[in-house]
Amino acid sequence: MSKVILQIDGNNFYASCEQMIDPSIKGKGLVVLSNNDGCIIARNSEARKMGIPMGKPYFKLKNKLTQLNINVRSSNYELYGDISNRLMQLLRKNCEELEIYSIDEAFGTIKRPKGKCLYQWGKDLRALVYQNIGIPISIGIGETKVLSKISNHLAKKIQSNSGIFDIGIIQNKDPYLNQIKVDKVWGIGKRMSIWLKSKEITNARELRDMSSEKIKGKYGLVGLRIQSELKGNLCIPIKETTTDRKEICVSRSFSYPVDNLEDLSQAIIKYVLIASTKLRKYNQLSSAITVFMNTNTHSKDLFRSEATGKISVPTSNSKIIIEKSLSLAKEIYKPYKNFIKAGVILHKLQSDQYKQNLLFDAQNIHEELDTQRLDNVIDNINSKNGIDTINWGSSIMKNEWRPRREKLSSIKTTNMENIPIIYAN
DNA sequence: TCTGGGGTCCTAGGACCC
DNA sequence: TCTGGGGTCCTAGGACCC
């Protein structure tokens, strides 16, 4: 028995979630838009076949989508998050270890009985997920994360694989690695692939076989690790714990440019509240915050401004973080600029189990206990009744520039009001 | 008119220490 | 006049990921 790495992801995840709650759109073209209805970030296979590209601005394709009768949805992260949780729970039951890598993707491990292909095992898991969650998945199996990613790619690419591929059982991987373009290898991005191509390395096999010295000289450990994983040596371990995140970032584009500090401050407060709620959910504290704002990034006179401030005692308290962030916002704000985006980042996160207070600061501790209670009450009410049931008065966003979500589906899995009604005769 | 958002890891370089 | 060198910690920025 040897350990193998699995890489499992939901096919066209956001589009599949939308189709699952609204079966009437099945078989027809569908795209899902990013926040603010900006870009196309997911599409089903029908839309792909009709030539709709990923990542392109919605406004440029709006007419084409109408002509082709393709359904459009604003992104509904509450829905996708809920489906994701169900998926991960089911996967956890069926793997030995599980690392949740993103909303629609996980790495897992299982043991391989000596010499046995795991295709059938994958097929059974895929059927189980479809039956219980209603979402199609793909499964790649290999010796390392990089190889299991390639395996998943092949699972999707070769129709007859039906969404499952086990490259780990194959002795001579060359014919498969030859098919994988170098920029499709996990960890090789735009910059690295340009350099690799200049060295005449165009596919995964050539990357595996190139001089290690060369790649180390240019990209150090990072490059070396990718190459070693391609050779079958496990270098990037499975990380099961996911709660100890290192930073939390919340940012949004506005639907209209904002040029005054008052509106910007309201947005910042809103973002801090989202971020600090997350912080408390993960039982973490932060001791540094960055506030940033920028004008249109596609314009020649882009203006971007940011500042970071420290918080003397690590905290998860909304009020303290709001106060700090507002003073930072005031510092970096410039009049006569049309800001289209702002955000906050909480850094230096630590577990709240090891909290240290300043010495001789009893007054402060009492005040903080009070505000902590307030945070907890707000969190509880909002988690039961939906985000924004109760919130800080100053965070109410003016409707004019609140991000657009014009094509939002309902949240049929998490909100009682949206539960579908079925009439029986 | 309209172009997303949230993360991680690594490295180089500065500050500081002995 | 001479002006080391190694270690650690922190930060900003690059590159990449979904």
Q: What is the pLDDT of residues A32-72, one digit of tens each?
A: 999 999 999 999 999 999 999 999 999 999 999 999 999 99
Number of helices followed by number of strands (H, E) in chain A: 13, 13
Q: What is the pLDDT of residues A185-220, one digit of tens each?
A: 999 999 999 999 999 999 999 999 999 999 998 999
- Residue spans of the domains in chain A: they are 1-170, 172-240, 248-401
Higher pLDDT, residue A340 or A411: A340
Domain A248-401, classified CATH 3.30.1490.100, yes or no = yes
Strand ranges across the sheet with A105-112: A97-102, A105-112, A2-10, A137-142, A164-166
The whole-number pLDDT of residue A378 equals 75
Chain B nucleotides covered by protein, CB below 7 Å: 1-12
**Tokens at residue A197, please?**
């191509």
A164 CA to C1 C1' distance (Å) = 74
CATH class of the structural domain A1-170: alpha beta
> What number of CA atoms fall less than 13 Å from residue A377's CA on the CB side?
9
pLDDT higher than threshold 70 for residue A416: no
Residue A105: CB less than 7 A from any atom in strand C = yes
Q: For the residues A262-282, what does the mean pLDDT come to?
A: 93
Whole-angstrom Cα distance, residue A141 to residue A118?
Answer: 8
CATH superfamily membership of A172-240 = 5' to 3' exonuclease, C-terminal subdomain (1.10.150.20)
Determine how β-strand A40-43 pairs with β-strand A97-102: unpaired
Q: What is the pLDDT of residues A283-314, one digit of tens each?
A: 999 999 999 999 988 888 888 899 999 888 89
Whole-angstrom Cα distance, residue A286 to residue A350?
Answer: 7
Whole-angstrom Cα distance, residue A308 to residue A249?
Answer: 13
Buried b (16+ CB within 10 A) or exposed e, A94-106: bbebbbbbebbbb
Residue A149: CB less than 7 A from any atom in strand C = yes
Residue A241: CB less than 7 A from any atom in strand B = no
Mean pLDDT of chain A: 89
The whole-number pLDDT of residue A382 equals 73
pLDDT category at A365 given cuts 50, 70, 90 is low
Higher pLDDT, residue A411 or A275: A275
A1: burial class by Cβ within 10 Å (0-12, 13-18, 19+)? exposed
The whole-number pLDDT of residue A245 equals 86
